[in-house]
Amino acid sequence: MSSLYYEAADVIQAFWNRTASLKTLVYDSPSPKKSYLFALCNKTLLAQHLLDDIVINMPELAGAQVSNKALLYVMLYDSTFGQGVRGGGSIVRLLRSAKKSIDGYLNHLMKEANVKSVGDLLPKEETTEQWKYLRVNRAKTSVAAVKQELSTLISEDQIKEDDMISCLLRIPSSVDLHSHPLVTSLSIILQTKASCFPPFLLLRDIESNPDSPLHFDVIDATAAPGNKTTFLGDILRGHGTVFAFDRDEKRYQLLKSRCDSYGSGNITCIHHDFLTTNPYAATYANVQRIQLDPSCSGSGMSHTSLDFTPPSKQRIQHLRNFQLRCILHAAEFPAVTHISYSTCSVYEEEDEEVVRDALAQLNGEKKEWRLERIAPEVKRRGHDCEGLSEKEKECVVRCEMGDGMGQGFFVCLFRREKGVEMSEEERKKREEAYEKKVSEGSEKRVSEKKEVKEGKKKVVKTEKKAVKEKEKEKPVDYVARIRHCHGKRVPLGKSC
C-alpha cells in the first residue's frame, strides 16, 4: 500500500482533531511529496459528507472493524473518485469486496441528482465562488426595481430569483457591488442564503402571508452587525417590533446605525446583555419569538479554508456553554413559543449537542418544548448525536460549503404550543423576584471577585515575607560585597 495514504490519513486525523489548519499540517508533514499529499487530503475532506453517506449506507463498510477511519476515507476516495487504490492490506480487500455495492449506491445517487458521472456528485471548491446572494430591502425598494437596476450591469439571465426566499437574488460572484448605490443605500444587503434562514424560518408564516392578522414582538438576542436583524424587521413590518440586543458598545453602535439606515421603522436597538434581561419585564410581554445566533467558532465560514486554524477544545466548551445559556434564558420569556437557534459552525458540539442538552434541560416529565421540522426544501439534515432521535435529527437543517447556500451553517426551531399565561399582578411579582435574583447574583459575583483578589494579595504578601525571612537566615558574605563594590563610585558616608 502506498505510504502516501498513511501520510494523508495522519494529516486528516490531525485536522479532525483540530490540531492546525490543513496547510500547516501538510507543511509540517515529513512527506517529500507535499503537493500530492495536499491534493489528496483536500479532495478527501471536500468529499467527506459524500463519503459519510457511502459508509453509512454500505453494510460491508458500516459493520467493518476499521481502526483507522481516516485511512479508510482516504482510500475510499481514491478508489471511488481517484486513480484507484494500489497495493494490498485489509482496507484494500474490504473496498474491493464492497465495490459492487458502492457502484450500485453511486448509480442510485447519480439518478437522484440527474448527473452522468460520479465526479459530478462531488462538491466543487469553486461552487461557492460562482454566485453571490443579494437580499432586497423591501422597506426601500422592490425585487423588480433591483433587477431592473442590475440589468444595466449584467444580462438579465445572470440575475436569478431564489426559489425559496422571495426577496433573495443571486448574481455571478465576479460582479463587484461593494460601492454600488444599491449597497451603500442599503437597498440591497450582501448576505448568504444560509444567513437568511433564521429570520425567514422564524417568521415564515408571515413572510408567506404578509396580510396575516398576527401581531407580536420578536427579540434578536445577539444582533450585531444586523443583517439578520434587518431581515426580521423587513418581514415583521406592520406586525410588531424587533428588540435587538448587543452588549458591546462598538457592536451596538454599528447595529443601531445599520438598523436606523435600513428604514423598516420597527427595530429598537438595546445596549444590554440579553442574558441579564428580565424576561418578565412589561416591555417584552408580547415577545412571542426569539432569534438566537450566538457567538460560535465560525468553522462553517471557512471549513474548507486552508488558513483556518480550528479552535481548542476549551474554546469550544466555553462557546457551547454560552450557547446553551442563551437557549435556556430565551425559554424563560413567558409568551415565547418559537426560538430559532443557529450557528455558522459545522461542529456537532455547537450544533446537535447543544440542541440535545437544551431539550433535556427544558423538558421535565412534561415535554413542553420540541423541535419543529423546517425547510423541507433543504435535503441536508442533522448529524448522528447520542440523545437525539432520528425524528429530531430530521428537524434540524445543515448547510455545507458547496451546497449553494454560501457557507456552512446550522439552524433549528424550538417550539411549544402556547406560552405561560399569567395575570398582571403575577407578572409584576415575577419581575421583581427576577430583578432581586439578578441583583443578589451580581453582588455575590462582586464579593467573590473581591475575595479572590484579597486572597491573591495575601499569597503575594506571604511569599514576600518568606523570601525576606530566608534572606535574613543567610550569612553575610563580606568578601562578595567588597568585590561587588569594587570599581563603583560610592558617595561619602554610604556603604555599598
Using 50, 70 and 90 to split pLDDT, how confident is the model at 256?
A: very high
Distances from the Cα of 256 to the Cα of 45, 203, 262, 268, angstroms: 40, 22, 10, 8
Where is average pLDDT lowest: 25-39, 152-166, 310-324, 329-343?
Answer: 25-39
The four Cα atoms 329, 333, 336, 342 give a dihedral, to 10 degrees, of -20
Task: Report the pLDDT averaged over residues 279-292.
Answer: 98
- What is the Cα–Cα distance from 273 to 266, expressed in whole angstroms? 20
Q: Spell out a b/e string for 268-306, using b for 16 or more CB atoms within 10 Å of the CB, else e.
A: ebbeeebbebbbbeeebbebbbbbbbbebbbbbbbbbee
Residue holding cell 483556518? 308
Residue 465 has pLDDT above 60, yes or no: yes
Q: Which residues contact 231 (CB under 8 A, 6 or more apart)?
A: 135, 189, 191, 196, 199, 200
- Superfamily per CATH, domain 195-421: Vaccinia Virus protein VP39 (3.40.50.150)
Residue 384 labelled as part of a binding site = no
Does domain 127-190 fall under CATH 3.30.1330.10? My reply is no
Residue 494 predicted with pLDDT over 50: no
Q: Does residue 317 have a pLDDT over 50? A: yes
Q: How far is Cα 72 from Cα 61, in angstroms, rounded to an integer?
A: 9
Catalytically annotated residue among 344, 395, 399, 412: 344
Distance CA 470, CA 129 (A): 68
Helix (H) or strand (E) holding 452: helix 424-473
Question: What is the per-residue pLDDT for 115?
Answer: 85
**Comparing 127-190 with 195-421, is the CATH topology the same?**
no
pLDDT value of residue 464:
75
Average pLDDT over residues 274-302: 93
Least confident piece of the model among 47-61, 140-154, 327-341, 362-376: 47-61
- 485 classed as catalytic: no
Find residue 217's DSSP bridge partners.
287
Task: Specify the 3-state DSSP secondary structure of 409.
Answer: strand
Per-domain residue ranges of the chain: 3-121, 127-190, 195-421
N- to C-terminal Cα separation, the chain = 75
Which bin fits 206, alpha (ψ -120 to 50), beta or left (φ > 0)? alpha
Across the chain, what does the average pLDDT equal?
A: 87
User: What are the residues whose beta carbons fall under 8 Å from the beta carbon of 254, sequence distance 6 or more?
Assistant: 224, 225, 226
Cα(312)–Cα(195) distance, integer angstroms? 25
Is the per-residue pLDDT at 482 higher than 60? no
Confidence of residue 442 (pLDDT cuts 50, 70, 90): low
Distances (CA, A) of 253 to 101, 277, 381: 58, 19, 36
Q: How confident is the model at residue 447 (pLDDT cuts 50, 70, 90)?
A: low
Predicted TM-score (pTM) of this structure: 0.71
- pLDDT for 263: 96
Look at residues 425, 431, 435 and name the one whose alpha carbon lies nearest to residue 284. Answer: 431
DSSP bridge partners of 412: 341
Across the range 205-234, mean pLDDT stands at 96
pLDDT (0 to 100) of residue 127: 43
- Find the DSSP H helices in 98-176: 99-113, 127-130, 143-150
Mean pLDDT of the region 207-227? 95
Question: Does the pLDDT at position 247 exceed 50?
Answer: yes
Annotated binding residue at 293? yes
pLDDT at residue number 2: 76
CA geometry: angle 179, 185, 191, nearest 5 deg: 75
C-alpha cell at 415: 417550539
Consecutive H or E run containing 448: helix 424-473
Which residue is associated with the grid cell 436606523?
Answer: 260
Q: For residue 238, which of 220, 260, 265 has the smallest C-alpha distance? A: 265
Phi (first) and psi of residue 268, to 5 degrees = -110, 115
Q: Looking at the predicted structure, is the pLDDT value of residue 140 above 60?
A: yes
